[in-house]
Amino acid sequence: MRPLLNTLLLSAAALSLTACGSMMMSQGPSAMSTLQARSGSSVSGTVKFVQHGDHVMATVNVAGLKPNQEHGFHIHDKGDCSGPDGMSAGGHFNPTAKPHGPQTSDHHGGDMPALKADASGNATATFHLTSVTVADGPTSIVGRSLIVHKDPDDYTTQPTGNSGARVACGVIAKAM
C-alpha cells in the first residue's frame, strides 16, 4: 500500500508542477504605466499589461476619481504625457482603422472598458483586451499612453466616445 501512496503523491506533485509551468509559459511580455494627474485633477494609479496568447490582460488600480462614476479609459496613440491637459497623447490608438466602440464589437485597439469608481473614488479592475499586443509589432501598446477621462464613455460618439477632459495620463513602458 505504501508504494502506491508514494506513486500517487509523486504523480500529483508532477501534475501540479506541469500545470504551474504551463501557466507561466502562457504569459508573454509585460508592460507597466504609472498614471499622473492632468487637467487639475488628483487622479493617479498604475496599470500592468501582460500578454496571454492572443489577448492582453490589464490590471488597473486608480485613485482620485469622482466617486460612484464611470470614467472613459483609453490607450492613446502617442507616448507623450507632457501636456498639462493630456492632449499631447494624441487620439485613440487605432492600428486596424476600426470605429470607436466596446470590446464586444468593432473597436479601436485603444478602446478599453470603463473604470468604475467606488464611493471613495477608487477603481480596481482586471480585464482582457483584444486586437492589441505587448509584444513588438504594429498593434503593440508599448510606447503609447493611457488616458483616464473625466466622464463615462458612450461607446457611440466617433471617434472619442465623448468622455470629456483627460484627468490622468501615463506612458506604457515595457516591464523588465
Q: Which residues are catalytic?
A: 74, 76, 92, 100, 108, 111, 149, 166
Single-letter amino acid code for the residue at 19? A
**From the CB of residue 173, how many other CB atoms can be counted at a distance below 10 Å?**
13
Contact 166, 38 (CB under 8 A): yes
Rg (CA), the chain: 19
Distance CA 28, CA 139 (A): 15
Q: Which helix (H) or strand (E) holds 155?
A: none
Nearest to 43 by CA among 141, 134, 166, 128: 166
Nearest to 74 by CA among 104, 113, 45: 113
C-alpha cell at 101: 466602440
Partner residues linked to 129 by β-bridges: 56
